[in-house]
A and B are shown apart, each in its own frame.
Chain A
Amino acid sequence: MSGATGTYLGMPPFPRAAKDAVRDATLRANLRHATHTIRDKRAAAVAELPDWPELRAAGAAIKDRTLRHLDHYLVQLEERVTAAGGVVHWAADAAEANRIVTALVKETGEREVIKVKSMATQEIGLNEALAKAGIRANETDLAELIVQLGDDLPSHILVPAIHRNRGEIRDIFARNMARWGRAAPETLTDAPAELAEAARLHLREKFLRAKVGISGANFMVAETGTLVVVESEGNGRMCLTLPETLISVVGIEKVVPSWQDLEVFLQTLPRSSTAERMNPYTSMWTGTTDGDGPRVFHLVLLDNGRTDTLADEVGRQALRCIRCSACLNVCPVYERAGGHAYGSAYPGPIGAILTPQLRGTAGELDASLPYASSLCGACYEVCPVAIDIPEVLVHLRERVVQGGPVTVRGTRTRIRPAKGHAAERAALRAATWALDRPGAMRAGQRLAGRSRRLLPRRSLPGPGRAWTASRDLPAVPAEPFRDWWQRRTRGEDGR
């Protein structure tokens, strides 16, 4: 391990990765257990609030207000953070954000930083960039630690090591902790409490000596310049409080207009995420405070594809996301394919609409993501900010196969249909042609009816094999309904 975990680059398209995941019995069992546990708990936590639909609608509306006037709120935020003693930086893309953070860490003279779990820094590959500059980034969230020590990739937004069970975690700790600091106890078992204790001891010395902390933020309040980090373990408090320098890398869509707006999200986020009334710890800070916490605070505002997403009136709603991961936990596809198949920091349904917008649909993997859904709608149902994920999925499917207007790094352009869909396009257009001509449709139905005894039900050739590999086909009836109907209306039915 190089201080950097792996990378999602060069991963295969979703169907191929998912096919391998489906065959992995341990992974299937781990994911099934975890997602089903949290599903029921979330439902109970949400059911406690009779005004959940109103909170959900208000959350969506607050985010929409923010997004429609994002420039206004960003400028206001910048002004308030600066007035409170913070330094605001802007980054148009991942490389720029990484350059800024690396330079800020180098200025302190430190060679290691502590990090609180952050999706934005995962997205831009900050740890890898710091490692190239000789700076070790220590992840301090338990799951991130598991991932980092296992030289692995996160597979879930909230619980990045959800694909690992307690036995696997025990082995990773026993094998790798010593290399990076305090070793795991000799007697370590797979009891979750013991594993948590091992992490506490391993990380404590890092917390106590750290001079630089790096975080993201769940919310930034434009009105006050306040940043909010919501967490459970206390590692966030450690990273936000003990170091002398704090650097927060936050996506520009994380801003909310007013202080009072937090009343909505601080109710919907914990219940949707960990299924708690409130998460154990929430930290809020505005710039710097004399004698309490970091003396230096930098805020890096990150675009990296967010403005391109904002430019799409249908796809824009993906930017409402508060990263609760309820959509992952309820998704039957995520449950079986696992997070790695989505090939980005954002797995599951939200990843399937966010990644192809942040990165574009030119890559084979990114173009396959909008299809990683049966459109069952469970994600939309649980989303606390009412992102109509199925609507955006279909919208992005159009972008893949029909092409059309998109914004790439701030420039409006038209993309051509993706390659590799020619046969499908021809088939669906032919279907429309036939279906728009009842005569042709009827001829097809009759042909199928006449040759029905010749049609295999278990082994179709060609693309049909994808169906018959696991499913029998229904028996083709002797005649379609419309023939029966016409005989009947002509009085031939004997009734």
Chain B
Amino acid sequence: MSARDVVLGRVRRALADVPREERPEQVPVVRDYLASHSPADPVGMLAEHLADYRALVHRTDAGGLPELIARLLAERGSGSVVVPAGLPKGWLSAVPADTVRRVPDAPSVTAAELDAVDSVVTGCAVAIAETGTIVLDGGPDQGRRRTTLVPDHHVVVVRVPDQVVESVGQALPLLSPVRPLTWISGPSATSDIELDRVEGVHGPRTLEVVLVRE
């Protein structure tokens, strides 16, 4: 007998008390929790909650975006930036090409090569106000998962208010589980030393979120 049969057989015997005719959906699940806890201003809450967990939050409009991104990379002293294939062309238009090397997000780029890159600029799939969360789904303006993981500086652009939802419950239906998803709430952190929170371990230690009003 296969291990599969053994385990499933044990499960079925263990559930001898469950009536045979009972269907899973007949087990009651009352969902009377709130669909959202947000007040009138989800974008404001997103900014506040991102900042609570030490993300650096910036606001601009579409016209100001290229200058802002250029400034953030310059302030950081970045000499190289990973560029997802579908990043809107204009976003890096103010970043000088002679001093900041563009590294494409391509399968041929190894993790070790990414480790030598200073920054990464991406868009996002959706942002959640209540939890201060940015969700990446590997879309063309976001690239592969390692792209936003290995470089130490991540600049992520959120179009507000279009890409902002209030709650986790509102975000899930907008996301496709078929795509690999990364939910980011502030830069990496640990509480492993005396349960005190320290920001910055393995992921990008600096997370800059640009809220672009359209």
Contact check: which of B22, B181, B196 meets A68 at CB < 8 Å? B22
- A48 cross-chain contacts in B, Cβ below 8 A: 37
CB neighbours (8 Å) of B30 from chain A are: 54, 57-58, 61
For A301, list chain B residues within 8 Å (CB). Answer: 7
Decide: B107 and A291 in contact? CB cutoff 8 A: yes
In the bound complex, residues from chain A placing their C-beta under 8 Å from that of B7 are 74, 90-92, 252, 301, 303, 307
Give a binary string over B17-56; 1 marks a CB under 8 Å from any A CB, 0 the rest.
1100011110111111110010000000000010011000
Q: List residues of chain B with CB within 8 A of the CB of A155.
A: none
A260 at the binding interface (Cβ < 8 Å): yes
- Known contacts A196-B190, A277-B131: A262-B182 contact under CB 8 Å: no
Is B123 part of the contact surface with A, judged by Cβ < 8 Å?
no
CA distance A219 to B167 in the complex (A): 19
**Taking CB as reference atom, which chain B residue is nearest A199?**
B201
B208 at the binding interface (Cβ < 8 Å): no
A96, B193: Cβ atoms closer than 8 Å: no
A200 touching B202, Cβ below 8 Å? yes
For B, the interface residue count at a CB cutoff of 8 angstroms equals 78
Q: Does any Cβ of A come within 8 Å of B76's Cβ?
A: no
Interface residues of A in 178-200 (CB under 8 A from B): 192-193, 195-197, 199-200
Given contacts A34-B195, A311-B13, are A237 and B33 in contact (CB under 8 A)? no
Q: Is B184 located at the chain interface by the 8 A CB criterion?
A: yes
Residue A438 is within 8 A (CB to CB) of chain B in the complex: no
Say how far A47's CB is from chain B's closest CB, in angstroms: 12
Q: Does A248 contact B (CB under 8 A)?
A: no
Q: Is the CB of B194 within 8 A of A33?
A: yes
Q: Which residues of B contact A (CB under 8 A)?
A: 2-4, 6-18, 22-25, 27-34, 37, 49, 52-53, 107, 111-112, 115, 128, 130-133, 138, 144-146, 149, 167-169, 172-173, 177-198, 200-204
B33: contacting residue among A37, A58, A286, CB under 8 A = A58
| Count, A-B residue pairs, CB within 8 A | 272
Residues in B whose Cβ lies below 8 Å from that of A285:
180-181
Q: Which of A34-90 contact B (CB under 8 A)?
A: 34-35, 37-38, 48-51, 54-55, 57-58, 61-62, 64-65, 68-75, 84, 89-90
- Decide: A71 near B133, CB < 8 A? Known: A34-B195, A278-B185, A281-B203: no
Q: Given the known inter-chain contacts A51-B34, A195-B193, please indicate yes or no for A71 contacting B11, CB distance below 8 A.
A: yes
Residues of A within 8 A of B185 (CB): 276-281
List which A102-148 residues lie within 8 A (CB) of chain B: 140-143, 146
On whether the beta carbons of B9 and A237 are closer than 8 Å, the reply is no
| 10 extra A-B contacts, CB within 8 A, seeds A69-B24, A242-B149, A311-B14 | A38-B195, A68-B18, A142-B201, A204-B115, A232-B188, A259-B172, A263-B169, A277-B185, A310-B14, A310-B15
Choose among B14, B169, B186 the residue that contacts A407 (Cβ–Cβ < 8 A).
Answer: B14
Q: Mark out the residues of chain A between 278 and 328 whose CB falls within 8 Å of any chain B CB in the assembled complex.
A: 278-286, 289, 291-293, 301, 303, 307-308, 310-311, 313
A65 touches B29 (CB 8 A): yes
A218 interface hit (Cβ, 8 Å) = no
Any chain B CB within 8 A of the CB of A15? Answer: no
Contact yes or no, A208 B200, CB < 8 A: no
Is A207 an interface position by the 8 A CB rule? yes
- Find out whether the CB atom of A291 lies under 8 angstroms from the CB atom of B144: yes
Give Cα A421 to B30, complex, Å.
Answer: 44
CB–CB B180/A284 < 8 A? yes
A313 → chain B, closest Cβ, in Å? 6
Residues of chain A whose beta carbon lies under 8 Å from any beta carbon of chain B: 30, 33-35, 37-38, 48-51, 54-55, 57-58, 61-62, 64-65, 68-75, 84, 89-92, 96, 140-143, 146, 158-159, 161-162, 165-166, 169, 192-193, 195-197, 199-200, 203-204, 207-208, 221, 224-226, 232-235, 237-238, 241-242, 252, 257, 259-260, 262-264, 266-267, 270, 274, 276-286, 289, 291-293, 301, 303, 307-308, 310-311, 313, 407, 410, 412
Select from chain B the residue with minimum beta-carbon distance to A260: B172
**In whole angstroms, what is the CA distance A108 to B39 when docked?**
52
Q: Once the chains are docked, how many angstroms separate the CA of A65 from the CA of B28?
A: 8
Task: Please pick, from A38, A72, A310, the residue contacting B24 in the complex, using a CB distance under 8 A.
Answer: A72
Cβ of A92: which chain B residues have Cβ within 8 Å of it?
A: 3, 6-7, 10
- A–B pairs, 7, beta carbons within 8 Å: A65-B25, A74-B11, A142-B190, A207-B202, A282-B183, A310-B14, A410-B9
Answer whether A65 and B146 are a contact pair too, CB < 8 Å, given A232-B191, A307-B11: no
CB-based nearest B residue for A316: B14
B194 and A280: CB pair below 8 A? no
Q: Closest A-chain residue to B205, C-beta based? A: A200
A90 contacts across to B, CB distance below 8 A: 2-4, 6-7
Is B29 a contact of A61 with CB atoms below 8 Å?
A: yes
Closest CB-CB distance, A204 to chain B, in whole Å? 7
Chain A residue numbers with a CB within 8 Å of B172 are 259-260, 262-263
Q: B10 contacts which chain A residues (CB < 8 A)?
A: 92, 303, 307-308, 311, 410
- In Å, the complex CA distance between A285 and B177 comes to 7
- Complex CA distance for A158 and B7, rounded to whole angstroms: 28
User: Would you call A192 and B194 a contact (CB within 8 A)?
Assistant: yes
Distance of B80 from chain A, by nearest CB (Å): 17
